[in-house]
Amino acid sequence: MTRSSLAASDIVVIAGYFLLVIWVGLHFHKRMKGPEDYFAGGHSVPWWLAGVSHYMSSFSAFSFVAYAQIGYTYGWVAVTLFWVTVPACIMGGLVFARAWRRADVITPVEFLERRFNLPMRQVFAWAGLPMKIFEDGLKIFATSLFLSLAVGVSVPWSIVACGSVTVAYTVFGGLWGLVVADYVQFLMKTLAMLLLLPLALWHAGGIEKAFTGLPPGFFQVTNGPYNWIYLIGFTVLITISYNGSWSLAQKYYSVRSESDASKAAYLSAALNFVGAPLMILPAVIGRGFLPDLIAEHRTADTYALLVLKLLPHGMVGIMVAAMLSATMALVSSDLNAIASVLTQDVYHRLFRPHASRQKLVQVGRVATLVVGAMMIGCSLWIAFSGDQSLFQLMVVVAAVFIAPTFLPLLAALTVRSLNWKGALTGFVLGLTSGFTMLAVKTWYLPHMSPGWVRDGFDGITILVNTSVTIVGMYLGTVAWRTTASEQESGRAFFRAPVRPAASAVRSPDGEPHQSPIAKMTIAVGLLLAVAGLMVDDLSARVIDLGVASALLALGVILHRKTRRAEPAGVPPEGVDPGN
């Protein structure tokens, strides 16, 4: 029997979480002196914090809802789909993370003017906006489904609440506020996943019973519509997205050095490898004791129902906060990245080239508010449209836009022979291919046979769009020869030395600023301790207080470590120098 309301202990955890992340934004509000601080963390974010933020910025309640939906319906293939993020991050560590840091930028399209010209910078500044706004609107909507079921408020109000808090702390804190909030959100999400899996195994009657009686093929690498063609195409999609998407690239160029960028990518790969089965296996196991969700057309509610069925009061609040934190981490990253493009690449470059650094921060905050409102509006539109095939909807949109939008960026960073005509040709042909394949899917695919074509069509679309984009870049480069001036600008771009990282973000009095990482760790521990004392269930109290004690100890260690290493220029409190 599931619950549909929260106890006082749950409310304390959720409210406390909201207050913590807003405090993070306010903490950094007056310390953002210029766009390099607000949008790139002064290129001084430690690699481990950037890696955690990269992981969290690619993770949302959408992941809980959509992958749990696949895991409940088709089994282990959901883990397979999530694990394609691992080679994507490894590829980033080997090639693209270093290239992004070497570009020495504070926005993801800024380098295109040095590499090619101003029009190319503007083309790609605008090209990435529609997809990111729609994608984040979809993810806010996925969060609202969970929040609505758990808290008992309507989906639209859930959307407004989640979106508004995310916009608030991103507006105030910039990239530093974002990555520190990501750290807190990482703690909450990890605690939630570590709690739910053993409880699911216990409820199912132990490990042996949990994995017996499930449908045939439930533990195959591929299953249902997710065949090998789909899997290969999805791997290509994720590799491009994880290394070219604005908010994820931001984590690579915000660190101190190229080697730090690679380490951040490898850490993200490790977290994705461990996190996928922890997140998805409860839904796979839940097929045994929640058998009717397919017949009831409620598979999108799988994770929410598991939480409400398995977790005692207090811990439900932890999970709701974790779901909120996952989405807020991703959306806030995209908000900051999009605002950086609108501020630096559009406003500053085209309209106010002599604007002061403080003025650019103010414009960045306004841009964040406007884009955040658009995301909330898009999420409300999705809610009222009634389409709940979340994973498929996300893949359909990404299949059209990802390759032509981000692949030319990655090629411009790494392929010396590419010229601007090739990048533009690849973009135009890739986008044309994407919309053509979408038309085929909409009007002709329902009548096609055999079935593997229908099942794998999204994968085919991704592969076709990627191939067309690559061929377009090659043909455009070959057909229109690179001029001498273009060759020189390209050589200058790849020869340019990387500037040393800025010092840590400083407070108004000029002293090195101490970030609240240690304090936030202690605060989360205290929050869980209060929740544990409020619940009546002994097992829940023991778990809450045990985890709270561990977090309090970790916070004290981080605080003491920082106090011993506090000469000028060190990273903020609780932040390792990067080794």
Q: How far apart are alpha carbons 137 and 143 in whole angstroms?
A: 10
Predicted pLDDT of residue 578 = 41
Instruction: Flag whether pLDDT at 480 surpasses 60.
Output: yes
Instruction: Flag whether pLDDT at 246 surpasses 60.
Output: yes
Task: Give the residue, 406 or 450, on which the prediction is more confident.
Answer: 406
Mean pLDDT for the stretch of residues 160-169: 76
Which ranges in 341-456 belong to alpha helices (H)?
357-385, 390-414, 420-443, 451-455
Instruction: Flag whether pLDDT at 42 surpasses 80.
Output: no
Residue 512's φ and ψ, nearest 5 degrees, are: -55, 130
Predicted pLDDT of residue 353 = 82
Least trusted range by pLDDT, from 41-45, 230-234, 520-524:
41-45
Each residue's pLDDT tens digit, 358-384: 788 788 888 888 888 888 888 888 777
Instruction: Flag whether pLDDT at 13 surpasses 50.
Output: yes
Q: How far apart are alpha carbons 204 and 209 in whole angstroms?
A: 6
The domain limits of the chain are 8-386+514-536+550-564
**What is the DSSP secondary-structure string of 108-138?**
TTTHHHHHT-HHHHHHHHHHTHHHHHHHHHH
Each residue's pLDDT tens digit, 83-133: 999 999 999 999 999 999 988 888 888 888 888 888 888 888 888 788 788
Predicted pLDDT of residue 173 = 55
Task: Give the residue, 506 or 220, on which the prediction is more confident.
Answer: 220
Instruction: Report whether 498 contacts 257 (CB < 8 A).
Output: yes
Instruction: Flag whether pLDDT at 317 surpasses 90.
Output: no
Instruction: Report whether 184 contacts 524 (CB < 8 A).
Output: yes
Instruction: Report whether 236 contacts 463 (CB < 8 A).
Output: yes
Q: What percent of the chain has pLDDT over 90?
A: 16
Predicted pLDDT of residue 568 = 40
Which residues contact residue 40 at a Cβ distance below 8 angstroms, ignoring those fewer than 6 apart? 105, 106, 175, 250, 253, 254, 340
Which of 269-273, 276-280, 345-349 reaches the highest mean pLDDT?
269-273
**What is the DSSP secondary-structure string of 30-55?**
TT--SHHHHHHGGG---HHHHHHHHH
Q: Residue 363 carries which DSSP code?
A: H
Both structure tokens of 348: 């500053």
Predicted pLDDT of residue 196 = 83
Instruction: Report residue 426's pLDDT band, with 50, 70 and 90 as the boundaries.
Output: very high
Which residues contact residue 92 at a Cβ distance below 8 angstroms, ignoring those fewer than 6 apart? 242, 243, 252, 265, 268
Instruction: Flag whether pLDDT at 243 surpasses 90.
Output: yes
Averaged pLDDT score across all residues of the chain:
79
Instruction: Report whether 230 contacts 455 (CB < 8 A).
Output: yes
Instruction: Flag whether pLDDT at 512 surpasses 50.
Output: no
Both structure tokens of 171: 């507006």
Predicted pLDDT of residue 504 = 44
Predicted pLDDT of residue 421 = 92
Residues β-bridged to residue 118: none
Residues β-bridged to residue 506: 512
Mean pLDDT for the stretch of residues 18-24: 75
Residue 496's φ and ψ, nearest 5 degrees, are: -60, 130
**Which element (helix H / strand E) includes 179?**
helix 155-203
Mean pLDDT for the stretch of residues 502-509: 42
Mean pLDDT for the stretch of residues 332-342: 78
Predicted pLDDT of residue 88 = 95
Q: How far apart are alpha carbons 375 and 567 in whole angstroms?
A: 42
Predicted pLDDT of residue 391 = 64
Predicted pLDDT of residue 60 = 65
Q: How far apart are alpha carbons 107 and 116 in whole angstroms?
A: 16
Q: How far apart are alpha carbons 124 and 127 in whole angstroms?
A: 5
Helix (H, G, I), strand (E, B) or coil at 304: helix
Mean pLDDT for the stretch of residues 517-540: 80
**What is the DSSP secondary-structure string of 509-559?**
TSSBPPPSHHHHHHHHHHHHHHHHHH---HHHHHHHHHHHHHHHHHHHHHH
Mean pLDDT for the stretch of residues 518-523: 82
Instruction: Flag whether pLDDT at 569 surpasses 50.
Output: no
Nearest to 166 by CA among 34, 308, 349, 338: 338
Predicted pLDDT of residue 572 = 44
CATH number of 8-386+514-536+550-564: 1.20.1730.10
Q: Residue 145 carries which DSSP code?
A: H
Instruction: Report residue 204's pLDDT band, with 50, 70 and 90 as the boundaries.
Output: confident
Q: How far apart are alpha carbons 7 and 1 in whole angstroms?
A: 16
Task: Give the residue, 38 or 335, on which the prediction is more confident.
Answer: 335
Instruction: Report whether 148 contacts 158 (CB < 8 A).
Output: yes
Both structure tokens of 24: 């993070």
Mean pLDDT for the stretch of residues 139-158: 77
Instruction: Report whether 304 contacts 92 (CB < 8 A).
Output: no
Predicted pLDDT of residue 575 = 45
Q: What angle do CA 525, 527, 530 make, to 5 degrees?
A: 110
Task: Give the residue, 337 or 263, on which the prediction is more confident.
Answer: 263
Predicted pLDDT of residue 172 = 63
